[in-house]
Structure 1
């Protein structure tokens, strides 16, 4: 069986860090690869050779090409395999050109969900501020603060967005016997019952839950959706976790709610802008924990994404049903 003509497209250093030698060796057994990693900068230079490319592999740093560029430089491209999460920034022109787009979003969802579940369990114990109080004040103050928290048994946890990551978080939290409330307009009653969660409105979720975690899709409709109306209703010792997108949070409203009630906590792995401005109040508030966008795949975790992409390509070659193919309809609601 003749091998397909394949290429890597994106930033060469990122391609190498995600598609590690073992995965690349397996891919080379399945397809004949163009020897140069293609980027927007060298697209025209290699234009004539690219006209025969049938499949492409990418990851973070995938260039956003216009439809006319795809048709001109990649007229025979049949499929694009993306070893990372969101494809919102580049997928539509490829889909409009009839190119199959496959994402390893399920692989990147795993570490995000693991990170989130860990933060939720710690937040319900008052870990974050009590650790600081012990260090900067004394043990008595730290213990007094922590004792105001419910712990994890029967505590209410709010999940905003029950997509791939949100559902994985719910799955990971099952052993803790929490009461999980979910805001997701697209979640059916049937699926909610299967997940053993309670659907609620966004404001109700903020007013009832001890810990709240954002996993909304990155869409124009969700920009600024988390604002004063929600943050002002947080419980006195509540924690807000954001591993979704910074743009979904109206930052001044969150800062105001945290300043007004210092026993509240925010754990922010994403912000807008990213990184935060040096003069931002988020850097000055003791009840804000900032991490540098580490919830997603890091270190050895990135290889999982490449393996998902490789296995999907194997299914593609063998004409089997793929698990993570993206459609235009899916882009309306997915992260």
Structure 2
């Protein structure tokens, strides 16, 4: 069924997500191509108002905090044909019932991938140069540093960077690393030798990735098969002083094994995610000089939320015009997405 000339649309997310991501220009743009339900946003589908709105909605613009679109919810939304998500993963709210209904789904994952990739590249370069350690030592010494004593292992000239998974973010990292004089290795069972060559990376088995890389960056989604994938054996095989960067999901890495390796000073770590996320206050990684913990900030924040909104508005405009989504989420690829 084709959408109406001005399809009825509603916002389904937490109020905080709506205020962060959807500034007035984005709301105005949505209102120009849809009949947009006025606030408040839908953050609970069980209320009388939510069910009244769902009864006429053809499109939901969703975001962080959107409740699951279960079969029971969809029973109250007989006209719903599409969901445009203003963030990355749709796993929390898109259910099997949505796919069975044939609802079209779009995600702003492509927009959210860029800041994560930028964060990763920044950390690759900073840790290769040992900037954080040097800054700490400089602050302590408050005196001239003899640069001639810099160890040969410091620097980014032909450093080996290993990427675990050619996910959407992993591929953006590959693109952003191209201008640098780095060797890029990739481990991904779903990538062929031909595709790796086209990406300009060397495809290697998982164990070889960890053994050969100066920096390993984790970009694999959390699946039953990847839970604890980066375990004690792989961490033990890393080069002395090598760096593990994780911007994916904390549970992909064996947290206990990583803690042992980092606190022993065998490897360094940059962790934007942990398991659990956040670590307990007394966890040894908080005070470990070989670990940098950031509060899940690699993804879109601040002015980067505008990029998510703009992509979602473009998707809604395309769909309302009958052109379909440019960033459609495929049901068969969902199990392999973050």
TM-score range normalised by the length of the shorter chain: over 0.9
Verify the 8 A CA contact 1:130 1:146 in the aligned structure 2: no
RMSD: 2.0
Segment of structure 1 superposing worse, 178-187 or 10-19? 10-19
Task: Tell me what 1:19 maps to.
Answer: 22
Match of 1:189 among 184, 188, 193: 193
Alignment gaps of 5+ in structure 2: none
- Report the more deviating stretch, 135-144 or 158-167: 135-144
Mapped to 1, the partners of 2:23 and 2:150 lie a distance apart of 44
**Separation in structure 1 between the aligned mates of residue 247 and residue 48 of structure 2, nearest angstrom:** 37
C-alpha contact (below 8 Å) 1:10/1:60 kept by paired residues: yes
1:136 pairs with 117, 135, 140, which one? 140
- Larger mean Cα displacement after TM superposition, 268-277 or 1-10: 1-10
**Normalising to structure 1: TM-score of the pair?**
0.94
Structure 2 counterparts to residues 29-68 of structure 1, below 5 A: 29-36=32-39, 37-40=41-44, 43-68=47-72
Aligned residues: 333
TM alignment of 1:1-335, pairs within 5 A = 2-36=5-39, 37-40=41-44, 43-70=47-74, 72-93=75-96, 94-136=98-140, 147-260=151-264, 262=265, 264-335=267-338
Decide whether aligned partners of structure 1 residues 142 and 229 sit closer, same or farther in structure 2, where only a CA change above 3 A counts. Answer: farther
Q: Secondary structure at the match of 1:91?
A: coil
| CA displacement, residues 27-58 of structure 1 (integer Å, 9 cap, x when unaligned) | 10000111231112654443133211000001
CA distance in 1, matches of 2:100, 2:143: 61
SS of residue paired to 2:314: helix
Shift of 1:97: 2.5
TM-superposition CA deviations, 1:228-277 (whole Å, max 9, x none):
011111111211111000011111100111233x1631000111111110
Q: What is the deviation of 1:197?
A: 0.4
Gaps of 5+ in 1: none
Give yes or no for contact 1:224–1:248 (8 Å, CA) kept in 2: yes
Is this contact kept in 2: 1:81–1:102, CA < 8 A? yes
Q: In the aligned structure 2, how far is the partner of 1:276 from the partner of 1:191?
A: 38
Deviation at residue 147 of structure 1 after TM alignment = 2.2
**Contact conserved, 1:315 with 1:321, CA < 8 A, in 2?**
yes
The 1:185–1:245 alpha-carbon spacing in structure 2 relative to 1, beyond 3 Å, is same
Q: TM-score, normalised by structure 2?
A: 0.93
Structure-2 separation of matches of 1:3 and 1:9: 18
CA contact (8 A) 2:43 2:65 kept: no
